[in-house]
Structure 1
């Protein structure tokens, strides 16, 4: 009796007839069966998948509105579920390396002590697959340096480009420049990396007498150029969302266009511009192919530490260059690098979303 009343409540809430609900229930069962079969690595996975496609096709023919709502709900929940499964898989695969290394997974060459207590353990060498030593410190440092260098390029140039497109450029120029910036985002990263390796690397070697072929500085330049489209696009949307009445009021008071942009437009869109820079940081931190092509893959900290012309690894280049030959704990250590990168980029993405939400509340008058 309770199940019948529950079914009736669902029907009344969704406004669907019994046929649509039955079709949806069969689709859910088949999709669940396909997922379970996939996890079990069964060769019969195709059977419920084909059944789900057939049921969906029938639902689209007989109950199109209800099927469309169900598919959009499925797409949303699948996105969240896949993200959760990826996170769980990364953590489980990285767990042996974390258990083996403990705090030493962030070890440095000489231990760091605070009040006589070792807060960061020492280890030499930092990375050795033959000795089962896997410190991610050089890779974290390389990722940090290349990301900082990239943002020194993409941040100012991206904000300047967004201001030009939104506030300065005539409509004809804007219609050309903005799509061009967005096309830059579609250029494969391997192309940027190859250009950096052949042109910028060679120039640095010929004119600056670098001791090694490939450096963090070159990677930072290339990744900064790759991050530019992200910063420009998001910052331009934030600047364009500033109400025209605010800018018109400033101009009516006698302020110049530059004074209005500097004192009114940028402060009003500051949260959105900050979100753009943070998204650019996430883009730079997660870049793989450019760093893999350019760097010389040395799993050691540069000497001195601030030497941006040194040659080390990033988290992404470490994974890309070593996963082909990795097994056992070595593979687990690469997954640990993925976990560190995943968590870092996730915090950056969440931070950018919070900043963007704050901007919308401020511009909407809701503090």
Structure 2
């Protein structure tokens, strides 16, 4: 019996692989066409969105069974492009919707300080008191979340025994998952009467109380991310310090914390971003007063934040285009601020990785 030449066998295998690859590409192409058609149908308010989405699901399910590798690449590509695309669409949408209010108010939308500051009936919208309320509550929240968060991360990562660490770390993550409305309700029903009675405040709610509650809400985020930064410090650095005769505290103070400083800074920035974007706790605790406290530095005064304004007024703004546009302008300020903080935290974390890798 004559043997089949090896070259013929390899070419046959290559042909089968090429056919499989082409089949996978064809299935992926059909799926992408269905998805693009569904998106176009949604934008044009056409009735073909759900049928095309169903077609995409069917095609991807068939591809997963018959051409799994190519289908997996297609799905990961779709997920990545969708993430970037959705972010871009959100950005464009809120900016476009905010243009009427910005055009109507001009620079006064960010600089107006005389009354009235926020009067929808008169067409006056100044974001300055809203920004002031957001800044004050964020500073108070940061003053709580930053030191306590770093201390908690240091305790979990360096001091606590393993048995205690295994209990505390999941508990901190559970705290991060508690809905913000729960924190706000507890703050309003428990802490607010106490502060009102003890400090004899003239009204319900205050910037100080909102900042304290939001600070405790941001605390689990700072602790969790900060503990990861401390855990990333090479053990050889700490062991070398201890071998030179330093105590555990001296090692933590002089080696661990300075080395993890970039990661801890990123953790604090993420906590600040959580504080800036907090909505329900501020809405429950603060009054609906779009005005400056008197005096301006009175942290026990009452005003409103950007997020609380959007949450409390979007219903009354329905059918009033200029009012809706002003709320979108508040959303633009929030979006840009949180995006800058997120980029800064990513930069700091990347710098920490380069520093620990010896590239700096």
Scaled by the length of structure 1, what TM-score is found? 0.92
| Structure possessing the higher radius of gyration over alpha carbons | 2
Candidates 29, 32, 39, aligned match of 2:36: 32
Query: Any conservation in 2 of the 1:107–1:126 contact (CA below 8 Å)?
Result: no
Query: Per the alignment, do residues 15 and 204 of structure 1 end up closer, same or farther by CA in structure 2, a change over 3 Å counting?
Result: farther
Query: Any conservation in 1 of the 2:21–2:70 contact (CA below 8 Å)?
Result: no
CA apart distance, 1:65:
1.2
Aligned pairs (5 A) from 1:1-367: 17-109=21-113, 123-326=114-317, 327-367=320-360
How many equivalent residue pairs? 343
CA apart distance, 1:44:
2.1
Query: Any conservation in 2 of the 1:154–1:225 contact (CA below 8 Å)?
Result: yes
| Divergent runs of 4+, >2 A | none
CA apart distance, 1:47:
1.4
Query: Any conservation in 2 of the 1:16–1:66 contact (CA below 8 Å)?
Result: no
CA apart distance, 1:276:
0.3
Query: Per the alignment, do residues 16 and 298 of structure 1 end up closer, same or farther by CA in structure 2, a change over 3 Å counting?
Result: farther
For the residues of structure 1 that align with 2:337 and 2:116, how far apart are their CA atoms? 25
CA apart distance, 1:43:
2.2
CA apart distance, 1:15:
9.6
CA apart distance, 1:16:
5.7
Cα shift readout 1:226-249 (whole Å, capped 9, x = no counterpart): 001100011100001000111111
For the residues of structure 2 that align with 1:65 and 1:38, how far apart are their CA atoms? 29
CA apart distance, 1:28:
1.0
Scaled by the length of structure 2, what TM-score is found? 0.93
